[in-house]
Amino acid sequence: MQDTLRTRMGWLHAWVGFAAGLLLFCVFASGCLAVFDTELTRWLQPEASPQTEAFSPQSLDHVLPAVHDLLVQGEKPFITLPSRRDPYLRLEHHDGHEFLTVPYNPKTGERLTVRATAGGTFFYDLHYTMRSGVYGETLVAFVGLALLLTIGSGIIIHLKGLVSDLMLLRPFAARLRAWLDVHVVAAVVFLPFILLMAYSGTFIRARTLFPPVSYLASIENAFRTSVPSTPRRPEKSAVSIPPSFPPLAPLVAEAERTIGAGQTGYILFQPQNILISRTDASGPLLTREHVDFSAEDGHVLRHVLLPGAITHTEQVLKGLHYARWTGVGMRWLYFISGAMGAVMFASGSIIFLMKRRRQSGERLMFRIAEGLAIGSIVGLPLGTLAFFWANRLLPVALHDRPLAEGHVFLAVWVLSAVSGMVWSLLGRPFQGWKIQLFCLAGLGLFLTPLDVATRPGVTFFHVPTVFAATDLVAFFLALVSFQMARRL
């Protein structure tokens, strides 16, 4: 074969794409769910009804005792003010993985009795760390670089037919042709979005790619057994927490005079300060501009708005990547584009396997690769649906419920990966694909009945809500899985 740039790029595209693609599928799939993290949290706490009363700033003071308790426990609590996305007042804190949230009535400040859940931010953490902390974050940042490489090589491969093949989709052609068309349509048509996400995502995590401490030093530190020379300090901060906080309504009014009316989004509590921050919905520039107040008497300490071209660049890229400024329409565009990004990786991996199935003679390495593909492409959606099922079926009084939901997700994902690997090693990969796709179709199909059966105050005829949208997306996923399993 003539060794042209195109064939060389084809090799690079295939191998780097497959190696990174299995993880990137998970990154894109979880990312498109994370776009609706607030809405998913509402689905996961069905006790809070879709509509509630209008916000009254006086209600904020009723949340303060709970804030105080969290501060005493060494947490960093914050209140999210009601918005168009979520009508409830929410007290949140980060547990190391997710933002755990408790809703309050926005008019009276009364705490709502809802189930504890990891919530929609479970997928946000999964998206950028794979729930593995800083190591996962570094890994995801590196596969982001691999994605940029794959996109570049992919453009060179498809340059000739970039315009003419833009909308050429032949689902009823031969299988390889059909998958190739799906891959090209998903990749080329959604190229602007995929490129933006790859670039902005890698930019945001640039600190993990170019850390202030060298990688070598980090690795040495990780393996070094440290003997503490001094006794360990208690984790709790030594800074004293005031016994009571000043009323919050005048503070919010004061902050709005600086930031703008209706532009406040969060109230963050620190032992000595109360930070009232600009809402992320105010625009594509994610400034997090905030006005700081004393926690003792509520007097204004400072107004913080970071200036500079580099800061603004970062704020724009973060704003475009996180999409917190968007309305519901744009959010759906992000969701569909993210889902098509996941389709691109899934179809690319399937093409990689199809092309090599015969020539590899189904060697061990090929079987392992196919097992991994099953575990990633079907395993992650399976785990996700299992997470939703667990949320509704686990006892409400269960201790450490958010952790249990996460464990169900991981257990189903691992089970799927192991079963896929076993079927693949036994030389019957299609059986593995089919069984798991049918399971996925079943879980998706019955999510609506589960939702209806386990949601208090359910009505069939109501305005479109997060519940209907989530159920419909699961139903659509079930139909796609069923069709794929049938055509395998």
Partner 1 sequence: MTIILCTFLWSLFLLLQACHEPKMLRFARIQKPAWLQRAAGGRFVLPLVALVLCFAERASTAIPVWVATFSIAALLVALGWAGLARYRELLITAADVRTVGLGKE
- Put residue 87 in one of left, alpha, beta given phi > 0 → left and psi -120 to 50 → alpha: alpha
Q: Is 320 in the site for partner 1 (CB under 8 A)?
A: yes
Nearer to partner 1, 193 or 366 (CB): 193
Q: Any contact of residue 283 with partner 1 (CB under 8 A)?
A: yes
Using the minimum distance from each CB to partner 1, give the nearer residue, 165 or 256: 165
Whole-number minimum distance, CB 156 to partner 1, in Å? 20
Which residue number, 48 or 344, has a Cβ lying nearer to partner 1?
Answer: 344
Burial 463-480 (b: 16+ CB within 10 A, else e): eeebbbbbbebbbebbeb
Binding mask 243-282 for partner 1 (x = CB under 8 A): ----------------------------------------
Quick one: which of 328, 442, 453 has its CA closest to 46? 453
Sign (positive or negative) of CA dihedral 181, 184, 187, 192: negative
Smallest separation, CB 185 to partner 1 (Å): 5
Q: How near is the Cβ of 184 to partner 1 at its closest, in Å?
A: 10
Residue 176 binding partner 1, by CB under 8 A: no
Give the relative orientation of helices 191-204 and 309-322 as an angle to the nearest 10 degrees: 130
Verify binding: residue 167, partner 1, rule CB under 8 A. Answer: yes
User: Hunting for tokens 């970062």 — which residue is that?
Assistant: 314
- Decide if residue 105 touches partner 1 (CB under 8 A): no
- Tokens encoding 213: 């401490």
d(CA 435, CA 409): 18
The answer to whether residue 329 forms part of the interface with partner 1 (CB under 8 A) is yes
The reply on whether position 336 binds partner 1 by CB under 8 A is yes
Q: DSSP string spanning 257-308? A: HHH-TT-EEEEEE-SSEEEEEE-GGG-SS----EEEEETTT--EEEEE---S
Q: Decide whether 72 or 168 has the Cβ nearer to partner 1.
A: 168
What CA–CA distances, in Å, run from 199 to 62, 279, 362?
43, 24, 36
291 alpha-carbon distance from chain centroid: 29
* Triad 136, 196, 472: Cα angle to 5°: 80
Does position 190 bind partner 1 by CB under 8 A? yes
In angstroms, rounded to a whole number, what is the distance separating the alpha carbons of residues 439 and 449? 16
16 part of the interface to partner 1, by CB under 8 A: no
Q: In whole angstroms, how close is the CB of 170 to partner 1 at the nearest point? A: 7
Kindly state the smallest distance separating residue 154's Cβ from partner 1, in Å. 16
What are the start-end ranges of the E strands in 317-357? Answer: none
Which C-beta is closer to partner 1: that of 168 or that of 426? 168
- What is the contact mask toward partner 1 in residues 338 to 357, using x (rule: CB under 8 A)? --x-----------------
> Which CB sits closer to partner 1, 243 or 329?
329
Of 333 and 418, nearer to partner 1 (C-beta) is: 333
Number of residues interacting with partner 1: please give it, by CB under 8 A.
27
- Residues near partner 1, by CB under 8 A: 163-172, 185, 189-190, 192-193, 283-284, 320, 325-326, 329-330, 333-334, 336-337, 340
